[in-house]
Structures are given as structure tokens and as C-alpha cells.
Structure 1
Amino acid sequence: MNEASKGGGRLAGKVAVITGAGSGIGRASAVLFASEGARVVCADISGQEDKTAAEIGENAVSVHVDVSNSGDVQRMIRTAVTSFGRLDVLFNNAGFSGQRGPITEIDEANFDSVVAVNLKGVFLGMKYGIAAMLAGGGGSVINTASASGLVGWKGLAAYSASKGGVVQITKAAALDFAKKGVRVNAICPGMAWTGLAGASESPTPPADLIPPQPLNRWGMPEELAAAALFLASDESSFITGTAIPVDGGYVAR
């Protein structure tokens, strides 16, 4: 841990819950938030949440969570409060892409699963997480949406629909709680080198696999984590209801 975690840093004194913390953007965010002084609840369904928490050390605990399950999400929020006394930051990051192909070929059960994790998971996180934040005087919610929720991606109808829903639920919740001390924003990754893209096989994207983004490269989990850190911190105190593309210029093309 660096010096920030010992009392200073941009998140000093804050308690954060991060879903999908076992890998990719979630893991990078958990490590970064802790390095900036936060105490972190690392939540995931993969089992890798334990590894992330162990890497951080005494300022982290892990929770095995299915974000589409109300009981699991309530337990996750309780863990933050019982372990660290409060909840200041909630990063609803867990998600998956689901089946690829045109709508006519998408299995109905797969569609339901994608929406349950990507959209209902955000709903449940905010339902129970914001209640805990209000008890402590406020906080910041960050939701992982996607560039696909802003422009749509061919062959990913269920994923695009779920992420478009995340954008809109973010805006609605921001209005609901703007006068109560809770800010709600979303980040919209473009094509980032995470497990969804193949990073589970290689930490570095192949040189010959360049996504169609104006910056002409993949986004990296640490870059998405940096955007989440800004929204979690007091530096973004006048920002709520936004869906920020962090996409190498993809949406602006």
C-alpha cells in the first residue's frame, strides 16, 4: 500500500463497495481506491474477490455476491457498514456481455440473465446502497454503463439494451437524490481490454488486434478505474446525472 492509504489520498476516510472486483475494471478500481485511502468491500461472484482483497490487505474485505440476488446485495451493503461503519461510495460495476448475434438468434433465458446482472444488479445496488449512504449523510454512486448503451453495438442487443437502461436509471436516481447528498453518475467504457474482450488469456492486447476507436488502441482497466476514482472523490462534487464516455473517442466518431 502506498502512503495515501495510511491516512491521506483522494478517498481518505471513505468506505467503498465495488462489484465485479475480482478482475478487470473492478479489480483495478479496488486497488486504486484503496491506494487513495478508501476502505473497500470487494464483491464478486467469481471467487477472485478474495484474491483482490488479500492483495489490498487490512483495508479490504471480500464478499461473494450475485448482484441479481436481493439477499446477496443486502448482505454486501451490510458488510460495508458492519466492517467499516458506513458507506460512502458504491461502484456498481459487475456485468457480462451475454450471447452474441442478431436478436432473432438470442436465447430468451440469456437475455433475461444479461438484464438481471447488468441492469437489475445496478437497481438493487442503488436500492440498498443509497439507503445506507443516506444514513451516513450522503455519498457517490458510480455505475458501469457502456458506449453500447449510448450508440448500440451490432450483435449485442441484450447487452446494449441493459447498458442503455443503466444510463437512464443513473439519470433518474441522480434526480431522486440530488437534494439529499447522493450523487449518481455512470462511466461508459468503449472497447476495453478486460475479460469481456479476451484479457483473461493475455494481460496485454495483441498488437494486431486494434479496435475501431479514434485513439487507435484498447482502453485499459486502470484508465476506467481512474474515471471512477474521479467520480468517487470530492473533486466531482458538482457532477451528478452524467454518463461519461471513457471510450477513446468511439462515441464521438
Structure 2
Amino acid sequence: MADLSGKVAIITGAASGIGLAGVEVFVAAGAKVIAGDIQDEKGKALETRFGADTVRYIHCDVTDMEELEALMQSAVDAFGGLDILWNNAGHGGTPTGVEDLDLEGYDHTMNLLLKQVFAGTKFAIPHMKARGKGSVINTSSISAVCAGYAPITYSVAKKGVAHFSKLAAGELAKHQIRVNAILPGFIATSIFGATLGLPREQADQMAEMLSQVGGKMQPIGRVGRGNDIAEMAAFLASDAAGFITGGEFLVDGGMTVGPPHSWNEDASSPVLDALGIDAEQAEQMRLAMTSGAQS
């Protein structure tokens, strides 16, 4: 486990999913945490669970710049400074494509997924400079590198998050502030149900269902958990990652290594599908070629 002893962290979107796992992992690693979210009941339960001397919940809509800036100051007020910022808050964004693009939904998606990453980092910089160094971690997505995993607006925003992290890393290195992006794969959280418009309770139930059936989608054989992402974030936040900045870290169970036939021997090749050759015929062809080569 990473060592975050003596460090103060802010995690946005901290009341559920990946953010909640982040609070749990960071506290276990020794950090004090400001948990920012708009889910007040769940957020206050976090503060009660860990104690206000370790976790403080702050209501924060990350698209509200005044609330976001106040969130950064809350770390100083509560725990004396700010060492780590994990820009994690988000949702699935507008589901519309280019032709039928919902422009209002586009603006909201970009504000939530991209603008707040710029702004949160901006507001954190003075506090990290006061500490002499810092670590900013941004939640991107595998949809930043591959098509077909999420709606186009979400995917473009997450690509922006990843590239922003690289550019900001170069700009802030002189202040010993490191910036890295994590690109999660299929993580069973309520974001899927929330994107479909389900109430929060039903979205949470859908996340549990996805955790049971999603393993077949990826080489590692199981769906991702919030803890998988949180452990990577804790490492990047720690001094053990002191030489790492500007990185984009896939945490996806191998989901982006290639199409299913590249890792699942039972999956058919798209080339053979296009030729109308099934798995049995392909095996017969392979045996015939092997026999011919040996004769």
C-alpha cells in the first residue's frame, strides 16, 4: 500500500463509486481527506464513519467555480494545507451524437468533465506551492484512447483531461507539482445507471449487477472495482511516484489490448466473419495447412 502519512488530499465525487474507494484507500494510507460531492447524505456519513479529524465532507458542485475554489481552501482551513488533488467528479454526459447533438448537454458535459479539471487544478496551485510540492490526479477514461466505449461528448472531454494532464505537468514541474491521468476501464459504479437517468438507488443496484456479469468483457476475467483505481491514485499521490509526471495510466483489466479474438480463443476473428468462415472451418484450414507444410 502507498504511504500518504502526513498528507492532505481533496477528492471530488467522493461520496460514491471510485471517489468513495479513494477516500477509503487514502485514509488507510495515512492521509487526511476533504471529500467533495453533492450527495450530502452519503458525504456526511463518510465524515461520521471516519471522524472529522480525518475526513471532512464539503458540499461542492464542481461546475460552480466559487464552490470549487472554496473546496481547495477548506483543506487549508481544516488540515493546514493541500498536498493532493484528485479531480474525479463526473457522470456519463449527454448521450447524443454529432448529428443530433444537444448543445446545452454538451456545455454541461464539458463543464463537468473538463472545465472543472482546469479550474480545480488552478485553484489548488497556490496551496501546493505553499507546501513546496504537490500531486494532481485526474480521472480520464479508456474512451480517451478508443472509440465505442462512451458517447462522443464524454469521450472527447476525457481525451481533453488526459492531454491537459500532460501539458499541465510540463507547466507545473518547476513548482514540483506532478500531474497525471488515470484511464479507468469498465468499473462497476453507479455512473452507468445515472447516465440512463435512473434514480440513485437503482443506479447503485445496477452497478452491483454489472459487477456480476461484466467480467467476460475483458481479459482479466472480472469487472473493475473502485479500489483498483483508488490504489493507482494513491501510488501516484505518494512520494514513491516522485519521478512520475505527465503520465496516462490505463487501469482497464486489459480491455484495450485488442478485440476479443486477440485474448479469447473462443471469440471469432472479424476477418473470418467477413469471409463467412466459422471456427470449425478455420480449424480445418489450419490443420490442412499444417499437414501440407509437414509433407
Same fold (TM over 0.5): yes
Matches within 5 A, 1:185-200: 185-198=180-193, 200=204
Q: Secondary structure at the match of 2:145?
A: helix
Aligned to 1:244: 249
In the TM superposition, residue 210 of structure 1 has moved relative to its aligned partner by: 4.0
Give the deviation of 1:212 after TM superposition.
Answer: 2.7
Once the two structures are superposed, the pairs formed by residues 90-169 of structure 1 within 5 Å of their partners are 90-153=85-148, 156-169=151-164
- Is the 1:19–1:44 Cα contact (8 Å) retained in structure 2? yes
What letter corresponds to residue 28 of structure 2 in structure 1? S
Q: Residue type of the partner of 1:200?
A: D
Q: Tell me whether 1:12 sits opposite 2:29 in the alignment.
A: no
Structure (1 or 2) with the larger CA radius of gyration = 2
Q: What SS class does the counterpart of residue 193 from structure 1 fall into?
A: coil
- Deviation, 1:202, is 4.9
Which residue, 43, 49, 57 being the options, matches 2:43?
49
In structure 1, list runs of 5 or more residues that go unmatched.
none
% identity of equivalent residues: 39
Mark the runs of 5 or more structure 2 residues left unpaired by the alignment: 194-202, 259-295
CA–CA distance in 1 between the matches of 2:63 and 2:236? 24
SS in 1 for 2:23: helix
User: What whole-Å deviation, never above 9, does each CA across 1:50-87 have from its counterpart, x for those lacking one?
Assistant: 22222221301111111122101110011000111110
Alignment of 1:205 onto 2:209: yes
**What's the offset of the Cα at 1:101?**
4.2
Matched, 1:24 2:17: yes
**Residues 25 and 225, structure 1, Cα contact 8 Å, conserved in 2:** yes
> Per-residue CA shift, 1:195-223, capped at 9, x if unaligned?
11346115633534446322232100011
Distance 1:150 1:246 in 2: 13
8 Å CA contact 2:190–2:206 kept in 1: the answer is: no
Contact kept? 2:12, 2:86, Cα under 8 Å: yes
Cα distance in 1 between the residues matched to 2:10 and 2:149? 32
Q: Supply the distance in 1 between the matched residues of 2:224 and 2:249 (Cα, whole angstroms).
A: 14
Please, which moves more after superposition, 191-200 or 218-227?
A: 191-200
Q: List per-residue Cα deviations over 1:94-143 (Å, max 9, x = no partner).
A: 01112324322331111111110110110111001122101111111100
Alignment check: 8 A CA contact 2:143 2:150 kept: no
Task: Give the total of aligned pairs.
Answer: 246
Letter in 2 for 1:232: A
Tell me how far apart the structure 2 counterparts of residues 170 and 138 of structure 1 sit (CA, whole Å): 16
Query: Per the alignment, do residues 69 and 22 of structure 1 end up closer, same or farther by CA in structure 2, a change over 3 Å counting?
Result: same
Q: In structure 2, the residue corresponding to 1:55 is in which secondary structure?
A: helix
Q: What is the aligned partner in structure 2 of residue 36 from structure 1? A: 29
Partners of 2:32 and 2:206 lie apart in 1 by 29
Match of 1:218 in 2: 223
Partners in 1 of 2:227 and 2:160 — Cα distance? 25
Tell me which moved more, 145-154 or 163-172: 145-154
User: Segments of 4+ in structure 1 off by > 4 A?
Assistant: none
**211-220 or 33-42, which deviates more:** 211-220
Aligned residue for 1:188, secondary structure, equals strand
Counterpart secondary structure, 1:95: coil
Aligned partner of 2:265 in structure 1 is none
| Structure in which a larger fraction of residues adopt helix | 2
Q: What amino acid sits opposite 2:245 in the alignment?
A: T
Distance (Å, rounded) in 2 between the aligned partners of 1:143 and 1:50:
24
User: What TM-score do the two structures reach when normalised by structure 1?
Assistant: 0.92
